[in-house]
Structure 1
Amino acid sequence: MSTHSSTESTENTAPTSTPVTTAQAAQDLASRGENRSQRPSSDAFREFIASGWDETVPDASPRPATAVTPARRDALVRRLPGTRIVLPAGPLKVRSNDTDFPYRPDTSFVYYSGLGTDEEPDSVLVVEPDPQRDGGSKAVWFFRPRAGFDTPEFYADSRYGEMWVGRRLTLTEAEQALGIECRHIDELRDALAKNLGDQLTLSVMPGVDAAVEEMVQQVRTENHVQADDSALAEAASEQRLVKDEYEISQMREAVDATIRGFEDVVRRLPEAIGHRRGERVIEGVFARTARADGNGVGYGTIAAAGDHACTLHWVRNDGAVREGDLVLIDAGVEVDSLYTADVTRTLPVGGRFSPAQRRVYEAVLEAADAAFAVARPGVLFRDIHATAMQVIARHLEEWGLLPGTAEESLAPEGQHHRRWMVHGTSHHLGLDVHDCAQARREMYLDAELRPGMVFTIEPGLYFKENDLLVPEELRGIGVRIEDDVLVTADGVENLSAALPRRVEEIEAWMAALRGPSTPTTLAP
């Protein structure tokens, strides 16, 4: 049941045919959702529910990220001098009627505040230059703090009430946890307008909270100031291109949890084989681990068996999982700090690769290994993809699938090999699965690798079952191998290296996890 639903009262009775009064007919649509339940409202109830509670408020421990968030905010105000920066957490998003999707705050809000999980929708972090520190910042978090037991909000507000959604922080607890000033959200508008003028403008992260954006625009108009909000989105993305030590530690946790999720999937793969929607069994097994060990999945899990593996973003996951097929699993655990892994393995359902499957798999693995071999500080990000494509094109030429040579295909005017791998080889990874998406091209694709960058290496080959240009034995085979990579001072580290990649290692790993009683059928 959604936390925004009202509990049905035991006093409700079956509907009867009664005349509709004028007052009933005039009830507005917005309030009719409350018709399904009854909430107590007597003076006796209000007095009784406000009494008998332990009102002790414990001290709050600083959040781990508070060791690094001040430096992040300082860097942001130096990038956008003279700007009061508004970073909304974002509102709840309606799934259907009065139920919402699980809440996840905006990435930039998380990065600069140090909050995570599903904390405080509708709150706003404001960051601006600190006049007392040259190049420094000051921040204030505006949110709705915990209401008293004697308020109707405590028991009657399904959006914020403690009885409905759990206990929220007090202002004092929030300041202890984040190390910054915290104020009631009702004070936000006045705070945004204070001291605006020639020396201070106002910018808001676009596309996060329409109500906050409207408020910011009203304040700008009233104070005759303007700002380029796209510059804020760009700055926040580019600042995350190089991860700090805290971020790297969170990425390691996310990858480790993801590996445990893959292990759980292999252990329970026989259940998927016996189910008409075996792909969803795989998805569910991974989701259980992600939710138990972290905040959940970092993106929609791809559990694609057989020809479904040739649909790049197959998230419907409603197909059968059959002996003899491959299953491509692209999944990542998002930890409580909201950093996510992004790992793909293509596994033989029966535990052994067929000769045709192995041929495709090893070609993709060779492309991945080649990309790893060139990745190091100073190399252009785009060169990782170019290196993988050289291997892919060469194999496709050897198999007679290209209309000309690999060299001709690799030329900008060719690109025939991309028919079987239309996606890129790498993307940045962090708080978003496709992290730093608003960064400029020269800072991303055309940039040199730098220590602290985290990205994926994920070449693939996809031969759809209706592709008449490939031999019949290859049709319906889709393979992707994806690892998460940290750039070090002199090379790269494969953060997901503990998850087997080579054919013999995968077959032995699957056999060990599934036990001796599980058959390992060789696919035809």
Structure 2
Amino acid sequence: MNASEKQHQAEHRNRPTGEAFRAFMGSSWAPRSTEVPSITEAARYAAARRERVSAAFPGTRVVVPAGGLKIRSNDTDYVFRPHSAFANLTGLGADREPDAVLVLEPVVAEDGSPAGHEPVLYFVPLADRDSDEFFANSRVGEFWVGSRATLASAASELGVTTRHLDELGDALGKDVGPGGLALRVVRDADREVAALVDQVREQTGVVTDAQSLEAAQATDAELARSLSHQRMVKDEWEVRQMEDAVEATATAFDAVVEQLPEALRRGRGERWVEGIFGLHARHAGNGVGYDSICASGEHATTLHWIRNTGDLVDGDLLLLDAGVETDSLYTADVTRTIPVNGTFSPAQRKVYDAVLEAQEAGLAAARPGNRFKDVHAAAIEVIARHLLEWGLLPEGVTLEQTLDADEGQFHRRWMVHGTSHHLGIDVHDCALALREDYVDGELREGMVLTVEPGLYFKSDDLLVPEELRGIGVRIEDDVVITADGCRNLSAMLPRTADDVESWVRDGGRRTDPRA
């Protein structure tokens, strides 16, 4: 189904249809500019990523959809965000080109051997002003959504061949079949495009029964895993995007800290915190990279507290887990746990210092040659040791016993999550990569990770001393693996208990710990 067909699924607007009106709407407009943009920096780096995909899938037509608009309610859509694989391989970010499809078209040498791919972008270009689409189509029409790319401007901006989306169906089936070109699609990006690919497979004899369909779709899963794995090591442009995202995030954290007194005064302070962070995220970039966790008091012991409906209370901690997403869709992911009144209680500081010690151990393990899982192992050993010293583990259990992966893990009652994940164009980046490449994989220069241990003592946990109940602490930073260790991209934000207290007392004005 194309964009025009989607528009006509539910049409209740009363629009004039007379020829005179249509001619009137299309007349007397100033000429559009004929200038085309230069290729963007994002697109230049995307070209190198496409080359790696081309090398991995010779002789294969690779189909990477952007995805379509998603309905929020009735005829109102969510703000569009292209699929991460599409954005990564085109350089298009923000809300660009819903329903577009990138096709890597195999090129054959004179001797018949694979000779790379030609990138072709299929999308709905800007319509002429004498068309109904210009004023009547609320999804793509210029009157409704503003001026968009033409075939020529997109080709120049992205350095790819461009064609109208209406040509996609015929193009997908060309030379496909037993003994012909292979065809793979990123299935989760767009169900309709995935269904179209399956239809082409049936029509060309690639799929003849349920077993061959399953085999064909297994090749799609292999493509998705490959594209996910490819993003593990960031290029220099991606690292700069991460630096920009983290810098903007730090500024937004400062604004939240400055606004803590107002959040206390107004009530429903978690929403105030969410709003302040979101304001800065939207102003500095595309918005937030994920729903912000603005958890005060007991809410901080719920790992993914995104309701953000609670009050901020003098004496409580605020756990703020949030990140700014740049216009190119790369996101930060930072957590700070902050005493709302500027002073940790002795119990709060006790938990905070334990988590900080665990994070320092995790940061030290984030270095090339180590395994990804070594970061968690280093941090969780510190967490487990403190819980043992505090008498919280079952009687008689040793540190070695609780760290045993099969028979232990008692400490996970108070830290059930992992310590790290890959970060980039997705907040949990590279998630489709195989375990051997991810958890068991070796850390390499250019990888971007989070390091985020925590401790969470629920208020109704009877194994926990009363003074610790209701305390939740997480400290999270974003690091890039370097040649001899890692660089903490978010190190400009205070981390020690003393520095955090000073940050709050100074109203969000921080002394950069790196200085």
- TM-score, scaled relative to structure 2: 0.92
Q: Render the CA deviation track for 1:40-86: whole Å, top value 9, x for unaligned.
A: 33333222221121222232131221221222111112212221010
Q: Render the CA deviation track for 1:417-476: whole Å, top value 9, x for unaligned.
A: 000000000000000000000000110000110000001000000000000101111000
Instruction: Name 1:43's counterpart in structure 2.
Output: 19
What 5-or-longer segments of structure 2 have no aligned partner?
A: 208-215, 510-515
Deviation at 1:135, TM superposition (A): 5.6
Instruction: Name 1:175's counterpart in structure 2.
Output: 155
CA contact 1:77–1:135 (8 Å) conserved in 2: no
Instruction: Name 1:215's counterpart in structure 2.
Output: 196
Deviation at 1:514, TM superposition (A): 5.2
Secondary structure in 2 aligned to 1:225? coil
Change (3 A) 1:432 1:194: same
Choose from 140, 143, 147 the match for 2:127: 147
Deviation at 1:101, TM superposition (A): 1.1
1:337 counterpart = 2:328: yes
Take 1:240 and 1:309, find their aligned partners in 2: how far apart are those partners? 31
Deviation at 1:406, TM superposition (A): 2.0
Instruction: Name 1:22's counterpart in structure 2.
Output: none
Instruction: Name 2:108's counterpart in structure 1.
Output: 131
What 5-or-longer segments of structure 1 have no aligned partner?
A: 5-29, 516-524
CA contact 2:59–2:107 (8 Å) conserved in 1: no
Take 1:215 and 1:414, find their aligned partners in 2: how far apart are those partners? 49
Q: Render the CA deviation track for 1:149-200: whole Å, top value 9, x for unaligned.
A: 1111111111111101111111110110011100000000111111223241
Equivalent position amino acid for 1:343 in 2: V
Take 1:195 and 1:41, find their aligned partners in 2: how far apart are those partners? 42
Equivalent position amino acid for 2:484 in 1: D
1:122 counterpart = 2:99: yes
Choose from 342, 359, 384 the match for 1:351: 342
1:202 counterpart = 2:195: no
CA contact 1:77–1:128 (8 Å) conserved in 2: no
Instruction: Name 2:353's counterpart in structure 1.
Output: 362
Choose from 259, 276, 282 the match for 2:273: 282
Equivalent position amino acid for 2:23 in 1: E
Choose from 391, 406, 414 the match for 1:400: 391
Q: Render the CA deviation track for 1:199-246: whole Å, top value 9, x for unaligned.
A: 411111011211111111111111122631101111001100101111
Secondary structure in 2 aligned to 1:127? strand
Choose from 129, 134, 137 the match for 1:157: 137
Q: How does 1:103-118 map to 2 (within 5 A)?
A: 103-118=80-95
Change (3 A) 1:117 1:464: same
Secondary structure in 2 aligned to 1:347? strand
Instruction: Name 2:212's counterpart in structure 1.
Output: none
Equivalent position amino acid for 1:210 in 2: R
Choose from 255, 258, 269 the match for 1:267: 258
Deviation at 1:96, TM superposition (A): 0.8
Deviation at 1:33, TM superposition (A): 5.1
Structure 1 runs (4+) deviating above 6 angstroms are none
Instruction: Name 1:185's counterpart in structure 2.
Output: 165
Take 1:160 and 1:329, find their aligned partners in 2: how far apart are those partners? 37
Change (3 A) 1:177 1:201: same
Secondary structure in 2 aligned to 1:220? helix
CA contact 2:341–2:504 (8 Å) conserved in 1: no
Instruction: Name 2:404's counterpart in structure 1.
Output: 411
Change (3 A) 1:237 1:215: same
* The 10-residue stretch of structure 1 (503-512 or 377-386) with the greater mean CA deviation from structure 2: 503-512
1:55 counterpart = 2:20: no
Take 1:486 and 1:303, find their aligned partners in 2: how far apart are those partners? 26
CA contact 1:74–1:135 (8 Å) conserved in 2: no
Instruction: Name 2:245's counterpart in structure 1.
Output: 254
Equivalent position amino acid for 1:160 in 2: V
Take 2:9 and 2:330, find their aligned partners in 1: how far apart are those partners? 40
Change (3 A) 1:32 1:246: closer
Take 2:32 and 2:98, find their aligned partners in 1: how far apart are those partners? 25
CA contact 1:360–1:461 (8 Å) conserved in 2: yes
CA contact 2:59–2:114 (8 Å) conserved in 1: no
Q: How does 1:458-477 map to 2 (within 5 A)?
A: 458-477=452-471
CA contact 1:145–1:184 (8 Å) conserved in 2: yes
CA contact 1:78–1:135 (8 Å) conserved in 2: no
Take 1:44 and 1:219, find their aligned partners in 2: how far apart are those partners? 42
Take 2:428 and 2:441, find their aligned partners in 1: how far apart are those partners? 17
Change (3 A) 1:31 1:244: closer
Secondary structure in 2 aligned to 1:513? coil
Equivalent position amino acid for 2:319 in 1: L
Take 1:514 and 1:370, find their aligned partners in 2: how far apart are those partners? 27
Equivalent position amino acid for 1:139 in 2: P
Take 2:220 and 2:469, find their aligned partners in 1: how far apart are those partners? 48
Choose from 61, 71, 84 the match for 1:94: 71
Secondary structure in 2 aligned to 1:95? strand
CA contact 1:459–1:482 (8 Å) conserved in 2: yes
Change (3 A) 1:514 1:219: closer
Take 2:127 and 2:44, find their aligned partners in 1: how far apart are those partners? 29
Deviation at 1:32, TM superposition (A): 9.2
Equivalent position amino acid for 2:300 in 1: A
Change (3 A) 1:135 1:490: farther
Equivalent position amino acid for 1:152 in 2: D
Secondary structure in 2 aligned to 1:118? coil
Take 1:440 and 1:380, find their aligned partners in 2: how far apart are those partners? 14
* The 10-residue stretch of structure 1 (394-403 or 196-205) with the greater mean CA deviation from structure 2: 196-205
Choose from 484, 502, 510 the match for 1:508: 502
Change (3 A) 1:467 1:290: same
Secondary structure in 1 aligned to 2:266? coil
